[in-house]
Structure 1
Amino acid sequence: MAKHGKKYKEALSKIDRLKSYELQEALSLLKEVTFANFDETVEAVVKLGVDPRHADQMVRGSVSLPHGTGKTVRVLVFAKGDKAQEAKDAGADYVGDDDLMSKIQGGWFDFDKVVATPDMMASVGKLGRLLGPRGLMPNPKVGTVTNNIKEVVSDLKAGMIEYRVDKAGIIHAPVGKKSFESTQLAENLKSLIDSLVKAKPESAKGQYVRGVYISTTMGPGLKVDQQQLLGELKL
């Protein structure tokens, strides 16, 4: 079990671990108990009522956060011709085909997101063993295999995030930085929850959203009252 320092324990002492906080109260307290001297990421952890061992209960998708993530995202696009130019015009950091594939095969990974046009996937698929383990492989389910290059690149640069349920039925996703206003963090979190609810598998039975927690990179987690949150979203 991990050992925590004095500052973490002090922050933890200000939190009632048995309480489900209303969202604004949780965000205010989250800012109060942060102690790191850098702009920490605020992460949401959502427990879903699904069994990812069954393919028809896999929850995966993407959502554009209205206020972004606070992180500069380097986007690489595999495309040719007009689509390559479209990617450059949209602000993609790297655009190419065989030249970029060779660089990646040589161990280059100075990018955060990868997008590809459908016609490039036969070649890009050969990079699966390199991109897959890093969560970088383009996938049509999250919108990164597309001919709509301009919109996807713009969304990724603006703060579109991908999510995928893990083996325990939990989603981990960034919703901003601690320097964000509480209202911005709240709107980002609500966008994530709304997307997750819309992605609910038809085969999922019983309560779907079973727990929502927020934390900063270094700080302890707080439980959010999911019923109040879902009520605000009218879900």
Structure 2
Amino acid sequence: PDAEAAAKAAGADYVGLDEYINKIKGGWTDVDVIITQPAIMGKIGALGRILGPRGLMPNPKSGTVTMDVAKAVEEVKKGKIDFKVDKNGIVHTSIGKVSFAPQQMVENAREFINTLIKLKPATAKGTYIKSIYLSSTMSPGIKVDAKSVDA
């Protein structure tokens, strides 16, 4: 109950446990991020088949399983994004939503690329970013000239 009140105060859109577990079992997944505490993961684990393929399963590595739920909610609300790197070195992330203005998308893309450049290991030799493609969820990618992106 204390964590629920803190999460609500931090700006969480939905706060609760059993009622949302039942809604998710019924097919509801209208959320961007699910944040929980380690003690609750036993109940959330049963939803793995529903949440896993959608990338919504809470994970300690991404900071969505934490004792300080309010801090995690604040970070997500401020715009914290997670990205995944597959075995081929391809970086996957979301830089916005349909409701974003074009300028917001440009700013998010620029900030993300700059972050990637800052994360470049000192030992990495050669071309670090070979190509950039942008696409919506179910559309073909659009090639962006990597040299045109100012760091």
Both proteins in one fold, TM over 0.5 = yes
Distance (whole Å) between structure 2 residues aligned to residue 169 and residue 89 of structure 1: 39
Q: Cα distance, 1:143 vs. partner?
A: 1.4
Identical-pair percentage? 44
Per the normalisation by structure 2, the TM-score is 0.73
Q: Which has the larger radius of gyration?
A: 1
- Richer in strand (by share): 1
Aligned to 1:67: none
Q: Cα distance, 1:137 vs. partner?
A: 0.1
Q: Structure 1 residues 105, 228: CA separation in 2 closer, same or farther (over 3 Å shift)?
A: closer
2:25 equivalent to 1:110: no
Aligned to 1:170: 90
Q: 1:137-185 CA distances to partner (integer Å, 9 max, x unpaired)?
A: 011221111223223223323433222124543223333467333xx54
1:116 is paired with a residue of what secondary structure?
Answer: coil
Say which structure, 1 or 2, has more relative contact order (CA 8 Å, 6+ apart). Answer: 1
Q: Structure 1 residues 215, 101: CA separation in 2 closer, same or farther (over 3 Å shift)?
A: closer
Select which of 55, 71, 75 maps to 1:155. 75
Distance (whole Å) between structure 2 residues aligned to residue 226 and residue 200 of structure 1: 17
Distance (whole Å) between structure 2 residues aligned to residue 89 and residue 210 of structure 1: 43
Q: Cα distance, 1:105 vs. partner?
A: 1.9
Per the normalisation by structure 1, the TM-score is 0.51
Unaligned runs of 5+ in 1: 1-80
Q: Cα distance, 1:223 vs. partner?
A: 2.4
Unaligned runs of 5+ in 2: none
Distance (whole Å) between structure 2 residues aligned to residue 223 and residue 203 of structure 1: 26
Between the two proteins, the alignment pairs up a number of residues equal to 148
Question: What root-mean-square deviation, in Å, do the aligned CA atoms of Structure 1 and Structure 2 show?
Answer: 3.2
Q: How does 1:187-198 map to 2 (within 5 A)?
A: 187-197=107-117
The answer to whether the 8 Å contact 1:138/1:144 transfers is yes
